[in-house]
Each structure stands twice: as structure tokens, then as C-alpha cells.
Amino acid sequence: MAGIKVLTVFGTRPEAIKMAPVILELNKYPGIFNSQVCITSQHREMLDQVLDLFGIKPDYDLDVMKPDQDLWTLTSSVLLKMREVIEKSSPDVILVHGDTTTTMCASLSAFYAKIPTAHVEAGLRTFNKYYPFPEEINRIIADSISSFHFVPTQSALENLIKSGINRKNVYLTGNTVVDALLYTVNNYKYDINADKNLKTILLTSHRRENLGKPLENICTAVRILVEKNPGIEVIYPVHLNPNVRSTVYSMLSGIDRVKLCEPMDYAPFAALMKQSHIILTDSGGIQEEAPSLGKPVLLLRDETERPEAVESGTVGLVGTNIDKITGSVQELLHDSEKYARMASAVNPYGDGKAAERIVKVLRDEFSEKQGV
């Protein structure tokens, strides 16, 4: 097949959500792009849900998922299998996203093969190499290797310029997660099984740095909140990581108005976000999505590589301190002016057209070379 050969590589559910709009946009131009998709299946079950939602059928599946595998095993497996995929697909450019181990390995594999890499959601930084771990170093490696940097915000752009990246290779696009969210809520309608007489607090927490005592603190804060506030319920889709599940189920099972459930498909999860009153999370993606739905977010982390939402006022940084979590939630529950300020803050992450901008750059950069 003629055209610009684009190989998109991802492995986790968040990556799939954020890359889906780009893949769908590439597929609008079959005479210009020869789009192929490689998944590593770093998150097997959760990844398949998103692929089904967006109708994406991978051309390559590395299937690297193993129970409790460490970073050494995962990294070596992805690197070796990526070599085979690159040899078979011979891409003109490899698209990666964000900061996962898959992203780092795919970028490094592209470098070894002397193939240009385009990094979606480039430029995020905490400037602490161990927080988040290993994501901060993964994103630095991907940025260092990439030829094209698609940044979600002005601060991400500035991070790259300060690190020595050539400005002409940096493109301010907005974040594709906004594209995915708006596509989903506009095309799929779900009725979430939540008590309409109660204010729903959506909770997600699964990051590596929050395992152990931090997650125990979060669970303790949840117990305190439902005891103090009979008008709320907490819904927690619990991550499949056994280290998360063992803590959460031991501390929150059987607690009145705390609903623990399995990880949700993206469409019903988007509907749950839309229905929620407050969102408690340590997720990067939710920080970017919730502002488009007018939902205040309390971030269960001490640092964030997405400071724009904090600066705009739609996200509050609360960490994993029990008193700070409970105090911040109490304030939002009982201070209507504070709630309104957070809920009405403008989303700094884009307008839902990031994928269009990314694909236009690829078309402009490669079309002349490929004669399309």
C-alpha cells in the first residue's frame, strides 16, 4: 500500500484512549497514510476495552503482559519484540504517547532503527526523576529521541525549549484526551447505577508511588468522609493490580455508601465522570478530562507534571495526607462558591481538535518525501 507509513505504538489503557483520536484521524486519509497499530498489551484487559470502543484492530500484538513482572522484564521484552515489528512494517515514522515503559522502549527501538519518532503529549515534567517513577525518566528519554514533539500546553512547550529541543520541532496541539472524551460522551449514552439522591464522589488510585501506606491513607480518608457526610457516596473502580486490590478491598469492603467495582470500560467511565460531583484521583488523564465536564478534581499526589490545571483552578493538589484529603472534600461539599470556581474553570488542555493538528503536521512533513 502506498502512502506515508505510520506505526502507532502503545500498551496501556490511557495511551489507547489518547491515541485513538489520532488513529481515527489517520484512517480518514487512506490514500495519504498507511496507518498500522502495534500494541504491547502492557495492560491487557483494560486495553482491549478501549480498542473495542473505538473500533481499532491492531496489526501487531506483542502480548508482553505477565503477572507481577518487574521493569527489567517488561523493558527487555518490549525492546526485543519491537525490533521484529519494525523490520516487518518498515515505517516512515513511529508514533508514541506519553511516558509509559512501552513509550520509552518504542522510542529507543525507533532510534536504533534510525526511524523518526513523533511524541504525542511531549514535554511533561515534574523535574523529579523518581516521581512519578518510572514515568519521569521515560518521558525524558522519549523527548530526547523524538523528531516531532506534540505538546498539550504552553508550559510543556517551554519545558522542551529549556531542555534544548529545537523549537521548530515542537507543535502546540492541545491534548488528545479531550478529543477522546468529547467523542465518547457525544456518541455513547450510559445510565450509571448511582443513587440520584446522593452526591457521587468518584475515586481512582493505582499509581506505583501510592502503593502501601499512601493508599491506606486514601482509604482511611474515604471511611471518614462517608461517616461524616450521609449525603454522599463514593464509587471506586478498583485497578487490576493485586497490590492495589488487596489494600482497597481489605479496608473498604462492606463500608456503607462505598461502592467498589471492577475497572470500567471507557464509555461508562466517562459517563460516571460526567455524573460525579467531585473526583478524587491520582490519574494524569483524569486531570485533563474532568475540566471539560466541569468537575472539580482533588489530586492524590504530592507533585504533578500537569501544573496547568492546578494553576487554572480546576485541580487541587492534596497528596495522600488524611487530613488534607478530608478537609479539601469537606470544603467542596459545603462551600458552594469554592465549588463553583473549580467547576467553571476553563480547561487548559485543549478544544478537542488535537488529533487534527497532529495529523496535519505529519502530512505536511512527510507528504513531499513520499510523493503523496
**Phi and psi at residue 108, to the nearest 5°:** -65, -40
Decide if 135 is catalytic: yes
Strand partners, 38: 9, 60
**Could you say which of 15, 121, 143, 233 is catalytic?**
121
Cβ atoms of 247 and 219 closer than 8 Å? yes
State the DSSP string of 53-75: HHT---SEE-----TT--HHHHH
One-letter amino acid at 247 equals T
Active site residue 149: no
Q: Which of 59, 158, 208, 357 is catalytic?
A: 208
Sign of the alpha-carbon torsion through 71, 72, 77, 79:
positive
206 is catalytic: yes
Contacts of 114 (CB under 8 A, 6+ apart): none
Look-up of cell digits 473526583: 279
Of the candidates 25, 92, 135, 305, the residue annotated as catalytic is 135
Amino acid 60 reads Y
Annotation says 121 is catalytic: yes
Q: Considering the candidates 25, 92, 99, 282, report the single residue annotated as catalytic.
A: 99
Question: What dihedral angle (degrees, nearest 10) is formed by the CA atoms of 264, 65, 144, 133?
Answer: 70
- Cα separation, 16 vs 13, in Å, equals 5
* 365 flagged as catalytic: no
- The three grid cell numbers given for residue 196, joined into one nine-digit string: 440520584
**Residue in 206, 257, 277, 301 annotated catalytic:** 206
Locate 81 and state its grid cell.
Answer: 519484540
Residue 97 designated active-site: no
Q: How far apart are CA 34 and CA 199, in angstroms?
A: 47
Residue in 239, 257, 277, 301 annotated catalytic: 239
List active site positions. 99, 121, 135, 206, 208, 239
